[in-house]
Structure 1
């Protein structure tokens, strides 16, 4: 791991410039020096020079009085800035099981640019990557997984990746004007403004910018789609296994936010009576204390907070500025007005495998998952968050959909698939379906995918992971072509990666995954648009076949029936009987309490560590 070297090289004049063979670029804040990388790979039939600029500051360090404030424009520098190494990763939560190998700092607002050409007239399309990590972890490069070299070189696009504030320093909110929250999202906004102002100097086209992200990163992309502040900053969006409907879909309970904020303050030595004094005190707390003292068990120490009810401790909030209302309301009420933005959205076939392997760790080394009825009853609703969780009628409806009824009477019935399907549909597949329908109905061009190919080398090191959460990432970034020591592709998978990279970069070039803008193009029928009716989608697999109506019955349950059922039972003042509550198993507070504090903490930890940034390193050590 190289050390961060984001330092100013005070060079008196270009005559004395000692980087004659390295690329120079002038941006709005000063001169940059990067490095040239030779990219060659026979499988991709590509041999070219790539220009790479790492650790470019796009805003002032958000430290001291700038903590818990919107990012401020980067001041001009003199001399030449050394952009040949990654910037610091943002401060993130400590975890005994998972760790980021990159150095961390509160001074972390840096981005990276991978460009095939520095000619101003090139006008290459631009793809801006927003990493995931439950708004809590990871970085723009994540130990090489998000290396944009292959994608830029093979796809003939410019790739930009960025850090944004995470965890408490990125999403702490008091529920009022003293700390409104969403600083990490505002960082992304300023980074996109930087792209608009400067990407032409790297050979890029500011009128063809695509934002793409995975999991919480895809949720960030969705928030950018829904925010009125991002108009004109991008033109296409790719959402991989995530939407703004993830978890609570932006908190909007100011009383809860205030209570939570004061509880955090007590843990960090700031026991102030009002939010203004609390925030001022927290600005003086060393950044490392947020990482060290707000560990995975801190939720259990905050009065009035039940760990099993909090999906992600620090996440986007409805601030009336960046996020004007709950995403669900914005979608249902037509709050999306970027009809000129083309959208590609999708999920993987086995999104729920990761959660099951954490909740039942004995399965991690198994050749295949086997879940008994008793184990299923223990875990099947642990990671579901919503008003239906204590509604017996809704729980019965969910059971009706997923329980393997053909073998339900047998003592050895395997409930693994029931859990995997349910969890994946609830958290990823059906929110994507809801968002795709809303965006398509608003007039946007929408394309949907569903990855069904099970990688030969799973990110998780689990034999049965199949097409699990984040398994598409090595295919999108072409890690095989970057020659990383892990995530190798089997020979038959190389063409899958090349096809996915082509679809993604075609989307960035033309707004259509079929068309590259060159004379030799695919048929527009190769990947049909998603629309209602029709509901067409592309399967990412060896065959790359088209299909339609992905999980339409299951998504009708989650997106339509369950909300109506909950509303009806609430309107009728429905009161569950004791038998009903017994039937809801883990959803009753007594059952959850019976599991013990450690399991409740684990439930929250699972949610906060479900992204690839938390699992690949241990699996490949």
Structure 2
């Protein structure tokens, strides 16, 4: 340790407040952050919990974000605010402190940036719009990988779960995608205030992983959010899920949770004329933790979730076509990245069905058909959660390149770990494995530098060629020192999966639509009924279905009636639900099932006469 740094260290021990001397003036008031001292005088600063909107509490719960109030004195920005209230216990990174009051942004900058203006990354975290937070990433990693490289990193919080997704249909009182409005508000704050923190508002890149990546895609391709590239100029999408939520299902879920919380007491038919103002007023009176508890109950017991980005405001027209949205973008330089396996080895099926990344008219039927094929071809096919990431990356990257932007596509294929979160250790510092190879350390040494170079110059590396859609060329990120191999440019990014989903699966969807039209049937229901039907198909395995002969099963009116009544049953049960283990009839059913199995076992053990034994043919 140098003498200068030693003296500073001693001063900090004697006078702890010396770490908090850096004060920034913003349009709303002064903020004081934490200083990390540096020998070269390029001290690094962390300003945590800077408000970019009013707290979304009380009357502002379920309301679009509003500009924050000004404050007097100096705002302490030395500690993280609580994470946004959500059912984060279901994730691998549960958040310890949570609150509805969470619309804050964390800004990491340096003395050099304050003097000469630096490029900026705004990072949106993943977690299926329902978990994780803006406060879960290691400070030292951010300071070393970004700030030390003259890039400011800003991480905003957005409302999660039901607080950011409650939606009853078109209404002047409640918009869809509240959490996305939070993201836009954060970007507006960055545009106006980042110069005070040393950032260049004309050099802003937004970056996201998983659901955060899809959020960045939606923002980056939108012609309504920022068509003139004023708020941000580049995008980085890492393992973007590409999935959009079911409109019907989200509306169903919103009415169900409001019903269970005692804020709506109408039938399914009465939902159309429901008094949304009364429902919202009622739900604003309920403690936020009680609402989260009911959300968790819905997830655990009925598999009904709030994990949806709807096709709608603020980024596109309500229930618009993804293809049209994708191909009408303004050009923005972009990086799209995936990992080799993503969720490929997982066979569990998820409630938010993965056929919402393309414009299927019958996504539930298509998902059922795909699952049939997948179960019989596990060795050659990739599951829907993984394929949605690969196909979306191919489609969005080629669309942006066709719009005239410089686009860079890559896939991380590092042995032995290349799945959905394994690369987060390289760009945001979490999910690092206990067992770490030398080759992984080499990859770690330059992965984030590629993102930094892109943020500052628009190109990640001279050796990384921009995307040519007709070739679908991409960088394979892999380090194998034993065999003398490193990153290499390849062509034909996931051609097999792209061809299958744009070919066979689209054909199947069109055949389903033709069959529905020929029988005069309505469009496929995509609400609670369809989810029940989907889960029933998993419990009761079916034979492989093909579009020409299996459509009857998918569109049978009697089946629709059956699951309509089942959905109504669930709605009634939500009014007065009792744990199943406390129901007397549950044990009666168990006893009957055991008795039946005993009788079957006895009958099979009984010896048969010779003439009863069938002949082999």
**Deviation at residue 277 of structure 1 after TM alignment:** 1.3
Is 2:406 the partner of 1:445?
yes
Is 2:232 the partner of 1:234?
yes
Distance in 2 separating the partners of 1:393 and 1:70: 37
Does the CA contact (< 8 Å) of 2:19 and 2:35 recur in 1? no
**Deviation at residue 120 of structure 1 after TM alignment:** 4.1
Larger radius of gyration: 2
Is 2:249 the partner of 1:275?
no
SS at match of 1:531: coil
Tell me the alpha carbon deviations over residues 49-79 of structure 1, each in whole angstroms, 9 at most, x when there is no partner: 3111111111110001111111110111000
Distance in 1 separating the partners of 2:376 and 2:371: 10
Query: RMSD of the TM alignment (CA)?
Result: 3.4
Distance in 2 separating the partners of 1:19 and 1:431: 49
Pick one of 142, 146, 164 that aligns with 2:158: 164
Is 2:464 the partner of 1:527?
yes
Does the CA contact (< 8 Å) of 1:132 and 1:218 recur in 2? yes
Pick one of 312, 315, 324 that aligns with 1:332: 324
User: TM-score, normalised to structure 2's length?
Assistant: 0.72
- Equivalent residue for 1:264? 257
SS at match of 2:225: helix
Pick one of 392, 395, 398 that aligns with 1:431: 392
Does the CA contact (< 8 Å) of 1:503 and 1:513 recur in 2? yes
SS at match of 1:160: strand
1:505/1:85 Cα in 2 relative to 1: closer, same or farther (>3 Å)?
same
Distance in 2 separating the partners of 1:114 and 1:346: 24
* 1:132-531 correspondence runs (5 A): 132-142=126-136, 144=138, 148-177=142-171, 178-227=173-222, 228-231=224-227, 232-243=230-241, 245-246=242-243, 249-253=244-248, 256-272=249-265, 273-295=274-296, 297-298=298-299, 307=303, 312-326=305-319, 329-332=321-324, 336-339=328-331, 341-353=332-344, 355-356=346-347, 359=348, 384-385=354-355, 387=362, 389-390=364-365, 394-395=369-370, 398-399=373-374, 415=378, 418=380, 421-423=382-384, 425-454=386-415, 466-478=417-429, 489-514=436-461, 523=462, 526-531=463-468
**Deviation at residue 507 of structure 1 after TM alignment:** 1.0
SS at match of 2:54: coil
SS at match of 1:112: strand
After superposing the two structures, state which structure 1 stretch, 257-266 or 501-510, moved more. Answer: 257-266
SS at match of 2:214: helix
Pick one of 63, 71, 75 that aligns with 1:77: 71
Tell me the alpha carbon deviations over residues 254-290 of structure 1, each in whole angstroms, 9 at most, x when there is no partner: xx54433221102222125422211121111111112
- Equivalent residue for 1:556? 499
User: TM-score, normalised to structure 1's length?
Assistant: 0.72
Q: Which runs of 5+ in 2 are unaligned?
A: 1-15, 266-273, 357-361, 480-485, 520-531, 542-617
**Deviation at residue 239 of structure 1 after TM alignment:** 0.4
Distance in 1 separating the partners of 2:488 and 2:124: 28
- Equivalent residue for 1:13? none
**Deviation at residue 423 of structure 1 after TM alignment:** 3.7
1:533/1:493 Cα in 2 relative to 1: closer, same or farther (>3 Å)?
same
Q: Which runs of 5+ in 1 are unaligned?
A: 1-16, 41-45, 302-306, 360-378, 405-414, 456-465, 515-522, 577-585, 596-621
Higher RCO structure, 1 or 2 (CA under 8 Å, sep 6+): 1
- Equivalent residue for 1:565? 508
After superposing the two structures, state which structure 1 stretch, 552-561 or 141-150, moved more. Answer: 141-150
Does the CA contact (< 8 Å) of 1:58 and 1:110 recur in 2? yes
Does the CA contact (< 8 Å) of 2:453 and 2:459 recur in 1? yes
Does the CA contact (< 8 Å) of 2:311 and 2:318 recur in 1? yes
Distance in 1 separating the partners of 2:322 and 2:512: 24
Tell me the alpha carbon deviations over residues 23-42 of structure 1, each in whole angstroms, 9 at most, x when there is no partner: 111111111111112479xx
1:94/1:201 Cα in 2 relative to 1: closer, same or farther (>3 Å)?
closer
Distance in 2 separating the partners of 1:398 and 1:575: 26
Does the CA contact (< 8 Å) of 2:409 and 2:475 recur in 1? yes
**Deviation at residue 211 of structure 1 after TM alignment:** 0.4
Does the CA contact (< 8 Å) of 2:476 and 2:489 recur in 1? yes
**Deviation at residue 135 of structure 1 after TM alignment:** 0.3
Distance in 2 separating the partners of 1:128 and 1:593: 43
- Equivalent residue for 2:24? 25
1:388/1:143 Cα in 2 relative to 1: closer, same or farther (>3 Å)?
closer
**Deviation at residue 216 of structure 1 after TM alignment:** 0.5
1:546/1:154 Cα in 2 relative to 1: closer, same or farther (>3 Å)?
farther
Tell me the alpha carbon deviations over residues 161-209 of structure 1, each in whole angstroms, 9 at most, x when there is no partner: 1111000001111112222221111111111111111111221111000
- Equivalent residue for 2:119? 125
**Deviation at residue 495 of structure 1 after TM alignment:** 2.6
Distance in 2 separating the partners of 1:528 and 1:147: 28
1:193/1:470 Cα in 2 relative to 1: closer, same or farther (>3 Å)?
same
Does the CA contact (< 8 Å) of 2:221 and 2:326 recur in 1? no
Distance in 1 separating the partners of 2:198 and 2:99: 31
SS at match of 2:400: helix
SS at match of 1:95: helix
Does the CA contact (< 8 Å) of 2:122 and 2:153 recur in 1? yes
